[in-house]
Amino acid sequence: MKVKRDQITGLALVILGIVMLVLISQFKKPITAEYPGPRMMPGIAAIGMIICGLGIFVNGCRQKTADKTVITKAGMLRVVITFAALCLYILGMQYLGFLIVTPLLVFGLAVYFAKASHVEVKIWVCIVFAVAVTAIIWAMYVPLFGMELPVGSLFE
């Protein structure tokens, strides 16, 4: 028998709810009938998650039709690659700063997104686009609204 999506979602919610209940039990202030204190809201949410998780799990067990595919395996790989690129970008900003890593990311993503969509893009257009986007965002945040963007620890 194939496991249904709702069964996985339900089970995940139940486990998360139980973990939350364990964490809530470590709060110092107890919950009483006279004053619910800091345990009340997270407690309600955790119990709610367990109940909903069980409900979703049962619905998943009753479901007779097959699940519709939300994202294919190839699509999921694209999501993971983009996600990893964004994490690397954050790390890059830490050391090299916004102005150096942003054009690289925008260029890389624009080319990758277009390739994945089976579209041929001109490299020079992507370079101009990446530089322009970086310049516009930097100009908007830093000189125009007086905010800061990462300079990079190597240049501080």
Partner 1 sequence: MLAYLPYIFTQLIQPMNLLLMVAGTAVGIIFGAIPGLSGTMAVMLFMPLTYTMESSTAVIFLLALWIGGCSGAFIGSVLLGIPGSASAVATCWDGHPMAKKGQAGKALAIGMTASFCGTFFSAIIGGLLAEAVADFAFAMGPWEYSALCLVAMTMVLAISKGNMFKGLASTCIGILLATVGYSPIDAEARFTFNNMYLLGGLGMIVVLTGIFAVSHILVTFGKGFDAPPEVSKEGLKGFGLTLKDIKDELVNIIRSFLIGLGIGFLPGMGSGLSNLVAYSTAKNGSKHPEEYGHGAAGGIWAPEVANNAAIGGAMIPMAALGIPGDSTTALLIGALTIHGLEMGPMVFKNSGDVVYLMFVTVAVVAALVLLMQAICKRWFPYILKVPSWYMYSALLVICLASAYVDSGNLYKCGMMMVFAAVGILMTLGDLPASPLILAFILTPTLETKTLQAFQSVPKWTEFFTRPVSCVLMVIAIFCIFSPIFKGLFAKLKKKKA
Near partner 1 in 81-140, by CB under 8 A: 82-83, 86-87, 89-90, 93-94, 98, 102, 105-106, 109-111, 113-114, 116-117, 119, 121, 129, 133-134, 137, 140
Q: Which residue has the tokens 């470590």?
A: 26
Helix (H, G, I), strand (E, B) or coil at 35: coil
Burial of 66 (0-12, 13-18, 19+ CB in 10 A): exposed
Residue of 38, 135, 139, 155 interacting with partner 1 (CB under 8 A) = 38
CB 1, min distance to partner 1, A: 20
Residue of 120, 122, 124, 147 interacting with partner 1 (CB under 8 A) = 147
Compute how many residues bind partner 1; rule: CB under 8 A: 71
Question: What are the Cα distances from residue 81, in Å, to 74, 112, 129, 131?
Answer: 11, 10, 21, 22
Q: What's the one-letter identity of residue 18?
A: I
Alpha-carbon gap, residue 127 to 41, rounded angstroms: 50
For partner 1, the binding residues in 43-72 under the rule CB under 8 A are 44-46, 48-49, 51-53, 55-56, 59, 70-71
Residue of 2, 65, 146, 156 interacting with partner 1 (CB under 8 A) = 146
Alpha-carbon gap, residue 114 to 120, rounded angstroms: 7
CB 61, min distance to partner 1, A: 13
